[in-house]
Structure 1
């Protein structure tokens, strides 16, 4: 195979594996049934990804990159960025990739050295800079150094609730309340310095 063919085949395989993983999860993934499902073989998967752990890390990185691309596009969109982001995240077509994302976050809490290492922490740090743009463009009055962390946590909490309960009406109502709270927060809170002894990761973005 030429390097170009190798690259194309690898991209084709990772796309199929990502689709399979979003539907079936990664926790109990076995190379043989996975290879059969994506039209390949364990030997070929190991050739392209080195190991099962390498394959999982690649899938997790791609799923995280897909979400990060969505938040960056929302931050730079011509419409309300937080509404744009929310609509993308709650689109039924994204449900499987969202489940894969939360699976990665939970597994990374218990697996500090394996394929899931740092997934949760990286998924937070990567979002903070574009979330600062989202919060600012949304017109949040309480735009403190911690606002991106607060909004990110609120959105992900609502999304997890929606995936778990499918209670669309209740979650949409809660999201609407979140937007109202953001836009009516006391203006005196804007620009407050971090509390003594506390370093804000958002402020360094």
Structure 2
């Protein structure tokens, strides 16, 4: 490709990036980078590695994303969305999910399953370098809370739903840290027993 043709191609990317076709292309690239992230993790992530995974060049990625940190953040958010979708599906399908405690229990194998280690890396990165990656941690709550709110009884008040959803999120995060750092399955199971009782009590109590 000549220099003139390359410049025309770059100009075309700039014009199309905000169009419906450009958005479709951006999402296609993001899906490929997300797949790579889920397999290889965050260590050694770079724009060039992302370009190889997406089957394009790093210059093309820069037309669709605001640099490597933006691309990494969006890929992590996409990976987390996949995890949330799977956990909600598990909660809906599990035979025990007729109770709130059962629905929360059904989510756990997904939370510690496929790609979990990568999302744990993302939270660690946000804690290690909050100036650059704090959004990775902040966005986690924004992503999880709507799904947790959706499994709570519809007749509850908005305030009560928010309180219980925040409790579930905080406890599950604690379990995830314990699972990742110590692998104490017995301790986590004991914690789940207490969480089950708390949720059973909440579900039985009048609003």
User: Residues 103-123 of structure 1, C-alpha deviation per residue, up to 9 Å, x if partnerless?
Assistant: 222222233332x23322332
Higher normalized contact order (CA 8 Å, seq sep 6+, divided by chain length): 1
Alpha-carbon spacing, 1:169–1:95, altered in 2? closer, same or farther (3 Å): farther
1:13 aligns with 2:29: yes
Alpha-carbon spacing, 1:79–1:182, altered in 2? closer, same or farther (3 Å): closer
Q: Tell me how far 1:58 sits from its aligned partner.
A: 1.2
**Bigger proportion of residues as helix:** 2
User: Residues 107-158 of structure 1, C-alpha deviation per residue, up to 9 Å, x if partnerless?
Assistant: 22233332x2332233224434553554557x9xxx6974333221222222
Q: Take 1:85 and 1:44, find their aligned partners in 2: how far apart are those partners?
A: 42
- State how 1:6-155 maps to structure 2 within 5 Å: 6-69=22-85, 79-91=98-110, 94-96=113-115, 98-114=116-132, 116-128=133-145, 130-132=147-149, 134-136=151-153, 146-155=163-172
Query: Which sections of structure 2, spanning at least 5 residues, go unmatched?
Result: 1-11
TM-score by length of 2: 0.64
Alpha-carbon spacing, 1:93–1:38, altered in 2? closer, same or farther (3 Å): farther
Residues 76 and 136, structure 2, Cα contact 8 Å, conserved in 1 = yes
Q: Tell me how far 1:71 sits from its aligned partner.
A: 6.7
Residues 75 and 133, structure 1, Cα contact 8 Å, conserved in 2 = no
Q: How many residues align structurally? A: 184
Cα RMSD (Å) of the superposition?
A: 3.9
Aligned to 1:180: 197
User: Residues 60-117 of structure 1, C-alpha deviation per residue, up to 9 Å, x if partnerless?
Assistant: 2323434455677788888445534543442389421x22322222222233332x23
Q: Take 2:128 and 2:180, find their aligned partners in 1: how far apart are those partners?
A: 22
Q: Take 1:69 and 1:41, find their aligned partners in 2: how far apart are those partners?
A: 30
Whichever of the two has the greater Rg, that structure is: 2
